Amino acid sequence: MGDNMTGKKGLGRVDAKLLELLVCPVTKTRLVYDEAAQELVSEAARLAYPIRDGIPIMLPEEARQLPD
């Protein structure tokens, strides 16, 4: 695993290896990482999950609804 998975580095940034393991909790489909917006976008669910302080918030109720 990468350095960040040791849990000691990059406290403010999201762990790249962690992102590889994640899927949309609603549709179980792939996510697109929007680095600028700090969001994980699920096209299938039309939801954008926020990443706060390097922590993905994978809760549909906390996600931003994407415009259709």
Partner 1 sequence: MTEPHIIFDRALLARRRARAAAALNAGGFGADFLLREVAADFADRLAMIKRDFPIALDLGTHTGAVADTLAAAANIGAVIRADLCPDLVTGAPRPALACDEERLPFAPGALNLVTSALSLQWVNDLPGALAQIARGLAPDGLFLAALFGTETLRELRAALTLAETQLHGGASPRVAPFIELRDMGSLLQRAGLALPVADKDLIKVAYPTMFELLRDLRAMGATNVLVERARRPVTRRFFARAAEIYAERFARADGRIEATFEIVTATGWKPHESQQKPLAPGSARARLADALGTTEISTGEKAAPKTRRD
Catalog residues that contact partner 1 under the rule CB under 8 A.
1, 4-11, 15, 17-18, 20-26, 52-62
Q: What is the largest CA-CA distance in the chain?
A: 40
Smallest separation, CB 63 to partner 1 (Å): 11
Helix (H, G, I), strand (E, B) or coil at 65: strand
| Nearer to partner 1 (CB atom), residue 6 or residue 65 | 6
Smallest separation, CB 42 to partner 1 (Å): 9
What is the bridge-based pairing of β-strands 47-52 and 32-34? unpaired
Smallest separation, CB 23 to partner 1 (Å): 5
Nearest alpha carbon to residue 19 among 37, 36, 41 = 41
